[in-house]
Amino acid sequence: MTNGKVCAAALLAAVSAACAGDAPTIFTIAPQPTAPVRSELFGQFLERASFGEPGPEAFADPVTGALPEPILAALAEMGAPVIRFPGGTDVDFLDWRDLIDGVPGRSGPRPVSVRSTTNRDAAAAGSITNRFGWEEYFSVQRRLGNRTIAVLNVMDALLRTKPLDDAVRDAVGLLAYCNAPMGAALPLGMPDWPAVRARNGHPHPHRVEYVQIGNEWTFKTNDIRKAISGDDLAGWYLRVLHAYLEAIRTIDPDVRILIDAKNHPEVEAAVLGDERLRRSVAGAAIHTYAPGSLDVVRRQPAPPTVDAATLSAEDWWYGTCFLPAGLAPDGTALGVRGASYDRAVALGYPIVVTEWNWNGWGWKNTPEPFRSEWVHSAQAVGTASFLNGLLRQSEHVVLATQSMLLGHRWGIAAVTADPTGAKPPWFRPQALATQLYLRHHGDRRLSVAHGPLPGTTVTYITGKWTTWPQQADPFLAWLDVVATANAEHLFLHIVQRAASQSLPVAIDCSAVCAGEAAGVRIDLAHLPPEQRPAAGQQTCGFRETPVRLVEGWLRETLPPRTALVIRLPLLRTSAR
């Protein structure tokens, strides 16, 4: 070293020699921030789904509605900064008033809610009890300290199940119950919901920070078209949304409003292009799940269905380990993509991803070691890939809520628990990946430069819900690195997607870190059965090991099928 500088050629030669003869992949971290990173990217969706997964309802005390202490402790460990409640699909087909006591004109206990067959095909109807309602939710929220997204019914209005004024007044009453102070002026004809809240024990507002108008409108476009009998579809959408905006702003001028970004192509440009919406809306929502049922496999480039039994374990790995992310041309992950995303961004909407997850099932017939081991790593690595994609898009994506926070039937519940209490709650791999990123991230993204990345072409589209990347013969990079920083630390978010190969990396941190410094590496790894917590139910866990910068460079060898974060101290001059 001369005058604090290192000859680049000599250092690169030393780095390569240090990697046991294997040329490392080189990454360079620049100090200039490229975009803010918000903790709301790591939120959760606390769903009560009448059609298969009751979520917190399955665990609520039948008398008090309270959740058991071990579950509350697990929810606190998740640490979600924002929680969406109480549902997605169900919200448009159930009555929010069933989740509170003392509704004007009603007597007796809360009813069992039955999904409306007016707004939904009778075959999809379901029912759910309401022990865990809004007051029970806010009891949990006060302990966790999270912000809240409340989802409002919009389908009663769009389908003309009720007159527009009645539909808006009934739906937006939820916001009045949660946010309006006692004695507030409410829209004409609305019950005194703050007084009802006070009789339920809370005279002061609970506060929800976000309201989301409806959920996935686009799936009901044909039914809406029939209901409006030839009226202009885009005009009807806008009339409904404007009515909701007016009522919401009457009750709370400051609550942040979310709408769907994805609409039927016939109306999307007109709806998102509306100037009033653009001025009023804090986020346009996109949802993404993959892979879905793994009994559906297609082959690239022409996508005929193929026999899933012909795939090797590596085929299954490379078809699932990056989902639900998309792939950029260099093979790194993109969180959200598509025409609706592009249009909303171009119009200036912040993007919110209010439902997402690695959501797949049906792998019992896949070959070993994918069936018993690699699939759990795919859940973790796929989730981390998606989170790297969201970080990579953080100038546009401002909030995300992973689905779902608590459950016992569906294989995506972050906290999975036993309704009988016989077994302790545990965390699925998808949840652990989100925990890793939530606990170890900065508030700004830094630039990461790299040369060609090692990787492979993805041959098979696995899963019924997987949408193929835009490019033909997509390249999947095995290494995916995003850097974030706060005032004290640099965080390297690394996904190693090779199925079997350990890969050496050399990361030049000299522009942001001291030449000689100690840090920590936190790996999310598949655990052997004897090391699994929660009575052996939890298949993945964290491992921490020390790391050291030498002359500003970090040299590590990364095992296959791993997501990890490396935390290093920043130079004080790089903290700004």
Say which range, 62-76, 207-221, 299-313, has the weakest mean pLDDT.
299-313
- Whether the CB-CB separation of 477 and 497 falls below 8 Å is answered with yes
pLDDT score recorded for residue 465: 86
Q: Which residues on adjacent β-strands are paired with residue 40? A: none
pLDDT score recorded for residue 357: 97
pLDDT above 90 for 342: yes
Closest CA to 378 of 393, 361, 400: 361
Query: What is the DSSP pairing of strand 553-558 with strand 503-508?
Result: antiparallel
Residue 353's pLDDT band, with cuts at 50, 70 and 90, is: very high
pLDDT score recorded for residue 500: 97
- % of residues, the chain, pLDDT over 70: 92
Distance of alpha carbon 404 from its chain centroid, rounded? 9
Q: Is 439 exposed, middle or buried (0-12, 13-18, 19+ CB in 10 A)?
A: middle
pLDDT above 60 for 407: yes
When comparing pLDDT for 2 and 179, which is higher? Answer: 179
- Report d(CA 41, CA 80) in Å as an integer: 10
Residue 517's pLDDT band, with cuts at 50, 70 and 90, is: very high
CATH superfamily of 47-67+77-215+217-261: Glycosidases (3.20.20.80)
- Report d(CA 18, CA 15) in Å as an integer: 5
- Average pLDDT (482-489) is 97
Please tell me the pTM assigned to this model: 0.94
Half-sphere exposure of 456 (CA within 13 A, CB side): 17
Q: Which residues on adjacent β-strands are paired with residue 260? A: 285
pLDDT score recorded for residue 464: 85
Task: Quickly count: other Cβ atoms within 10 Å of residue 551's Cβ.
Answer: 15
Average pLDDT, the chain: 92
Q: What is the pLDDT of residues 239-271, one digit of tens each?
A: 999 999 999 999 999 999 999 999 989 899 999
Beta-strand (E) ranges in 101-232?
A: 113-114, 127-128, 147-152, 210-213
When comparing pLDDT for 390 and 217, which is higher? Answer: 390
Closest CA to 442 of 554, 283, 565: 565
Helices (H), 42-163: 69-78, 134-144, 155-158
- Report d(CA 58, CA 418) in Å as an integer: 9
Q: What is the pLDDT of residues 178-189, one digit of tens each?
A: 999 999 999 999
pLDDT score recorded for residue 4: 34
- Whether the CB-CB separation of 214 and 241 falls below 8 Å is answered with no
- Whether the CB-CB separation of 75 and 405 falls below 8 Å is answered with yes
Overall fold of domain 1-36+288-403+412-576: Immunoglobulin-like (2.60.40)
pLDDT score recorded for residue 12: 36
- DSSP reduced 3-state for 45: strand
pLDDT above 70 for 8: no
- Report d(CA 342, CA 347) in Å as an integer: 9
pLDDT above 70 for 9: no
pLDDT above 70 for 122: no
- Whether the CB-CB separation of 113 and 95 falls below 8 Å is answered with yes
- Report d(CA 564, CA 560) in Å as an integer: 11
- DSSP reduced 3-state for 43: strand
When comparing pLDDT for 231 and 145, which is higher? Answer: 145
- Whether the CB-CB separation of 255 and 209 falls below 8 Å is answered with yes
pLDDT above 60 for 120: no
Residue 143's pLDDT band, with cuts at 50, 70 and 90, is: very high
Sequence-distant contacts of 195-203: CB under 8 A, at least 24 apart: 196/100, 196/102, 196/103, 196/104, 197/100, 199/102, 200/100, 200/101, 200/102, 200/135, 201/135, 202/135, 202/138
Residue 302's pLDDT band, with cuts at 50, 70 and 90, is: low
Q: Give domain limits for the chain.
A: 1-36+288-403+412-576, 47-67+77-215+217-261
pLDDT above 80 for 427: yes
- Average pLDDT (225-231) is 91
For residue 5, give every residue at least 6 positions away whose Cβ sits within 8 Å of its Cβ, in sequence order, or none: none
pLDDT score recorded for residue 266: 87
- % of residues, the chain, pLDDT over 90: 85
- DSSP reduced 3-state for 453: coil
Residue 468's pLDDT band, with cuts at 50, 70 and 90, is: low
Q: What is the pLDDT of residues 12-55, one digit of tens each?
A: 333 333 333 479 999 999 999 999 999 999 999 999 999 999 99
| Backbone phi and psi for residue 407, each to the nearest 5 degrees, phi listed first | -175, -175
pLDDT above 90 for 301: no
Residue 116's pLDDT band, with cuts at 50, 70 and 90, is: low
